[in-house]
Amino acid sequence: MTDSFETDVLIVGSGPAGGAASLFLSSYGVDNVVLTRYRWTANTPRAHITNQRTVELMRDMGIEDQITDKGTEHALMGQTAFCTSLAGEEIGRIRTWGTHPRRLADYTEASPTLPCDLPQTLFEPILVSTAATRGARVRFDTEYLSLEQDADGVTAHVRDRLSGSEYDIRAKYLIGADGGRSKVAQDIGLPMAGQMDVEGSMNIVFEADLSKYVAHRPSVLYWVLQPGAQIGGIGAGLIRMVRPWNEWLVVWGYDINQPPPVVDEAMATEIVHNLVGDDTIDVKLKGTSVWSVNHMYAEQASVGRVFCMGDAIHRHPPSNGLGSNTSIQDAYNLAWKLSLVLKGQASPALLSSYDEERVPIARQIVERANKSRTQFGQIFRALGMTPDAPAGRTIDSRKDDTPEGVAQRNELREAIELKDYEFNAHGVELGQRYASSAVVPDGTPEPAYERDAELYYHPTTWPGARIPHCWLTRGSETVSTLDVVGKGRFTVLTGIGGESWVKAAQAVSESLGLPIEAAVIGPGRELDDLYGDWARLREIPDNGCLVVRPDAHIAFRSSELPEDPTAALHEAFAAVLGR
Ligand code: FDA
């Protein structure tokens, strides 16, 4: 008897990155094992903002309803308040996560989904259990210790934490989704840029009925601005809704240059009472933890057959709610590529596009989240709470009928508006575009952004971009363009006059042994553009063609019908698949 077993993909970590990787791979029929050192999934509700792109990926997996059923609905997410305490004076409000009527139009126009608030404690079990029902083998209480890789695979050495016994798992590929202190990333020597432990924060999770302070301004975040709030962590004291309106998480900072505080029940209750501004509320403490703010990203995400994702390659504060979302999106990027390579439908060369596509995103989101954290400074200054604030300025002086009062009110409004870059950064959330060996450029320049690239999503079919969403009809059904693509397959889309692309897709599918879907969009065809939105968004004529990758990004675009569409498609697929 041997103390080892084999799998195609071994995933270290069952957090958002590892759980999602297992879900995607299992859905594509790829044999995988996911292991975590703990007895179950996340035990604290860290990540919660679930952005549209993540909900779209769950829609592609057929489990959007599980996400929206368990999550707090979009309409309750957005009356984000800045106050001196929940019971105290309110200083300003910003509508967040696309809930402003103007932004709601942007959000609903861009995606068939809406953001929701789903605590990590509820999301991870959905990912892992769905993966398991689709074939993943999940090993709890199992710790990754080390790995060795050779030309054919990776051998990981692991420990069963219940029995203490150690054994090997042999895999063709290994995914390091083991979080912000990733041992896998360290073991393969990923080069990292930036700094860990920039600031200190503590989380306090508790139950208390705070309805009377929040139900009239429903939000997932309430920011408390008090002297001391700007020390450490994410820039201000935060009361975060976990479940409306009786489960909460408080984030408060500590000085990183001092030893981490021991947050006992008395200290936790005092902090909660202070931020709520009411020491009569009954606080049922559920847990506390300390964590640090990081500013670090990997300059390379893989070595050989080992790929890292999630916090293992991007470590940053929770600002913008990008951590778990980006982790899940990393997994979505890699899973279809591994699936095609393992099925012999693509060359291993395809896998190099993972680094090409996701390393720039890792850097982008780390920079964005850290910038958002520091942009709280303007609000503190506007309230006279920083040393560089004008002399005599206080929270109360903003009420004065003086020129200084006018200036202060304007400064405060602008400082709160700047937080759109944290709370309504739709371009960051949805607008990722890839330039890599898995995208065939069509010779056109990247379309310019008509509005701020971080705040606004700009739809385009430029190769490398995600296919724009609009509603199409299929008989009596209304479907999104995103529903027509995905599910682990490539899709060829054309219009009336482009039927030869469909025939070409069939020929290429047969010659490459690769399933390819193809559809004509137009009147009298399987899919119709009754609203006319697709004609406005597609940026190609009727007889042009888009090849959409399994992750909904455009691989190839043709603005004409060439003489030999089969040759054109064959060339494009060969380039993308490295064949
Ligand atoms: P994660 O750390 O979640 O998981 C790592 C996994 O690896 C775990 O399963 C662990 O057991 C396992 N593991 C580690 N070492 C191992 C070993 N040696 N052997 C076996 N298993 C091992 N993000 C977001 O998108 N929206 C949001 O709103 C927020 N909000 C937020 C609030 C707060 C307070 C915090 C602290 C963080 C957030 N985040 C967030 C960030 C989010 O929590 C974070 O980015 C994700 O959990 C990262 O997911 P990963 O799967 O990469 O790592």
Candidates 549, 540, 441, 555; CA nearest to 491 is: 549
Check which CATH number belongs to the domain holding 327 and give it.
Answer: 3.50.50.60
Distance 93 CA to ligand 1 centre (A): 29
For range 61-77, the mean pLDDT: 97
**Residue 501 belongs to some domain of the structure:** yes
Residue 15 CA to ligand 1 center (angstroms) comes to 5
CA of 104 to the centre of ligand 1 (A): 29
| 231 Cα to the center of ligand 1, angstroms | 24
ipTM: 0.96
Do the domain assignments include residue 50?
Answer: yes
**pLDDT tens track for 434-465:** 999 999 999 999 999 999 999 999 999 999 99
pLDDT in tens, 153-197: 999 999 999 999 999 999 999 999 999 999 999 999 999 999 999
Regarding whether 154 and 32 lie in a shared domain, the answer is yes
From 2, 24, 18, select the one nearest 124 (Cα to Cα).
18
Pocket-forming residues, ligand 1, beta carbon under 6 Å? 12-18, 35-38, 46-49, 120, 143-144, 177-180, 183, 203, 251, 291, 310-312, 318, 321-325, 327
Give the residue whose CA is nearest to atom 15 of ligand 1. 178
Nearest residue by C-alpha to atom 41 in ligand 1: 323
The answer to whether the beta carbons of residues 209 and 245 sit under 8 Å apart is: yes
- Looking at residue 159, what is its pLDDT? 98
Pick the residue whose CA is nearest to atom 36 on ligand 1.
Answer: 46
Q: How many domains does the chain have?
A: 3
Q: Are residues 176 and 310 in the same domain?
A: yes
User: Considering the domain boundaries, does residue 268 fall inside one?
Assistant: no
Residues 130 and 154 in one domain: yes
pLDDT digits (tens, 9 = 90+) for 392-417: 999 999 999 999 999 999 999 999 99
pTM of the entire structure? 0.97
Q: How far away, in angstroms, is 13 Cα from ligand 1 center?
A: 9
Domain assignment present for 262: no
pLDDT in tens, 29-62: 999 999 999 999 999 999 999 999 999 999 999 9
Q: How far apart are CA 146 and CA 155, in angstroms?
A: 8
CATH code assigned at 500: 3.40.30.120
Ligand 1 centroid – CA 490 distance (Å)? 31
| Residue ID of nearest Cα to ligand 1 atom 39 | 47
Give the residue, out of 311, 322, 328, 358, with the most ligand 1 atoms within 8 A of its beta carbon, to mutate for a pocket test.
311
DSSP per residue over 293-359, as a string?
Answer: EEEEEES--EETTEEE-GGGTEE--SGGG-HHHHHHHHHHHHHHHHHHHHTTSS-GGGGHHHHHHHH
Do 477 and 546 reside in the same domain of the chain?
A: yes
For ligand 1, atom 4, name the residue with the nearest CA. Answer: 15
Residue 263 covered by a domain = no
Does residue 369 belong to any structural domain of this protein? Answer: no
Q: Minimal CA–CA distance to 481: which of 110, 192, 13? A: 110
Kindly state whether residues 330 and 478 are assigned to the same domain. no
pLDDT at 1 over 50: no
pLDDT in tens, 485-541: 999 999 999 999 999 999 999 999 999 999 999 999 999 999 999 999 999 999 999
Which pLDDT belongs to residue 233? 67
**Cα of 423 from ligand 1 centre, angstroms:** 21
Q: Do 176 and 151 reside in the same domain of the chain?
A: yes
Which of 324, 328, 361, 429, when mutated, tests ligand 1's pocket best, judged by the most ligand atoms within 8 Å of its CB? 324
* Parent domain of 506: 466-577
Percent of the chain whose predicted confidence (pLDDT) is above 70:
98
Ligand 1, atom 25: nearest CA belongs to which residue? 324
Do 174 and 36 touch, CB atoms closer than 8 A? no
Give the model's pLDDT for residue 236: 81
For the chain, the C-alpha Rg in angstroms (whole number) is 25
**Best substitution site from 35, 139, 178, 373 to test ligand 1's pocket, by max atoms within 8 Å of Cβ?**
178
Do 383 and 411 share a domain, yes or no? yes
On whether both 381 and 357 belong to a single domain, the answer is no
Q: What is the spatial distance between Cα 209 and Cα 246, in angstroms, rounded to a whole number?
A: 4
CA 517/CA 490 separation, integer angstroms: 6
How many Å lie between the centroid of ligand 1 and the Cα of residue 215?
A: 30
Over range 12-39, report the average pLDDT: 98
Task: Looking at the structure, tell me whether residues 45 and 142 fall in a common domain.
Answer: yes
For residue 317, tell me if it sits in a domain: yes
pLDDT of residue 360: 98
Residues 357 and 385 in one domain: no
Q: Cβ(465)–Cβ(552) under 8 Å?
A: no
User: Do residues 314 and 412 share a domain?
Assistant: no
The answer to whether residues 381 and 347 belong to one domain is no
| Domain membership flag for residue 516 | yes
The residue whose CA is least distant from atom 6 of ligand 1 is 13
Q: Which atom of ligand 1 is nearest to the CA of 326?
A: 25
SS3 166: strand
